[in-house]
Structure 1
Amino acid sequence: MNYIELMVEEHSNIKRVLSVIRKYCYKVLKNEEVNYADFFILIDFVRNYADKHHHGKEEKLLFDRMIKELGPTAEKLVRNGMLVEHDMGRLYMQELETAVNNVLKGEDEARLDIIANAISYTHLLYRHIEKEDNVVYQFAQKNLSSETQQILEKECDQFEQEAKTKNTQSKYISMIAELEEKVK
């Protein structure tokens, strides 16, 4: 599997968690019993798998190479599009964490903030993933030199190996199944 296929596969894992987030929000909306601490598990997944692991590869490897090699078009796409959206996602997670803490302190109205931030995150990421899979990654594959592609393959493989030593992939992939089971 090449580095682009790997990142698309990671997007599939992230979309599974987005579905779980929506299901949790629906339970909150319907005032069903919710273990609000489960939101911290979702936040952990987003911060450490979606952001640190997946976005880490994009930001440190792919996007950096695109800007250096492909010039102003890539720079606008990356800096004004993808990186802005990554930052927006981080903000939604920060606000979601605050809202969950407020609910746990007894502030019932903060349930609205849980729904607002979690659903905003899911909408953002679904659109973001669609753009990356169908525009950004395709642009990179078609326009980066074969030498750069080979470098990215090597760097991505190294990134993955380092993550494996920390058990990142297996921890978060198994976490997805556990979360899906909780909201059936």
Structure 2
Amino acid sequence: MKESIRTMQDEHRSISSVLHALKHLARNAQDVTIKADFKVFRTMIRYIDEFPEQLHHPKEDKFLFARLAEACPGARPLIARLESEHKEGARLVRELERALILFDNTGPDGVANFCDMVDLYTEFQWDHMRLEDNELLPLAELHFTPEDWRVVDEGFSSNTDPIAQIKEKDFQALFSRLVVLAPAPVGLGEPWKKLAEVD
């Protein structure tokens, strides 16, 4: 397997694990007897916003999509769709942030809207990653030359975002923080308290 494909799939797994955790904790937050930890939600949303938008998607756009558009002109509609989904994903994160603020400010009245946004966003991202894994990557494997792979592999092995110079280790530290903050079974943090225990 090419190094860039392995990196991309590893990154998809990292993003997916945070999405699963977010969905699980959002479901738990619907229990009105539980006091949700909004710091955990904010950290998760920060991760899914910053990691894909500042590291993952720029690598896809600059190295994989651009190269594939040249190697396989028939892939251009698919690439255009995926690039559009990158923009839509960023917009949906803003909606998710707004839903979390509403939930934090209104308590149980905002939880349903927040959970709906979590469901919408997670399904959107999973569909997007499946499309890349199941349609885009096979086209790259079919049409790329060894030189194409060399350029793409080199781009994906870079430890920094080419635009913002954000180091991948910063995202690894954020992911580790999520694991420490999130309650079991999602992470290693303390279980969320029942409201009666908080008072």
How many residue pairs align between the two structures? Answer: 181
The CA RMSD over aligned residues, in Å, is: 2.3
The aligned counterpart of 1:10 is 11
Tell me what 2:127 maps to: 127
How far apart in 2 are the matches of 1:24 and 1:152?
Answer: 36
The Cα shift of 1:172 comes to 3.5
C-alpha separation in 2, matches of 1:183 and 1:9: 28
SS at match of 1:87: helix
Normalising by structure 1, we get a TM-score of 0.86
CA contact (8 A) 1:16 1:176 kept: no
2: CA distance between counterparts of 1:91 and 1:112? 20
C-alpha distance 134-166 of structure 1, shift in aligned 2 (>3 A): closer
One-letter amino acid matched to 2:156: C
CA distance in 2, matches of 1:18, 1:69: 33
**Are the equivalent residues in 1 in contact too, given 2:59–2:156 (CA < 8 A)?**
yes
> Quick one: which of 30, 37, 41 aligns to 1:35?
37
> Is 1:171 paired with 2:177?
no
Matches for 1:97-116 after TM superposition, within 5 Å? 97-106=97-106, 108-116=108-116
Higher helix share: 1
1:87 paired residue number: 87
8 Å contact 1:102–1:110 — kept in the other structure? yes
C-alpha distance after superposition, 1:21-80 (max 9, x if no partner): 111111122223211232210111111113321112111221121123321x21100112
Structure 2: which 5+ runs fail to align? 192-199
* 1:139-171 per-position Cα deviation (integer Å, ceiling 9, x unaligned): 11211222111111122223x256684633431
Distance 1:37 1:169 in 2: 17
Once structures 1 and 2 are overlaid, which stretch shifts more, 141-150 or 168-177? 168-177
TM-score normalised per structure 2: 0.80
User: Partner letter of residue 98 of structure 2?
Assistant: T
Counterpart residue type for residue 24 of structure 2: K
One-letter amino acid of the structure 2 residue matched with residue 48 of structure 1: E
Structure with larger Rg: 2
Counterpart amino acid of residue 27 in structure 1: N
Q: Would the alpha carbon gap of residues 128 and 110 (structure 1) be closer, same or farther in structure 2, given more than 3 Å must change?
A: same
Q: Give the unaligned 5+ runs of structure 1.
A: none
Gap change, CA 1:183 and 1:78, over 3 Å in 2: farther
Question: Who is 2:96 aligned against?
Answer: 96
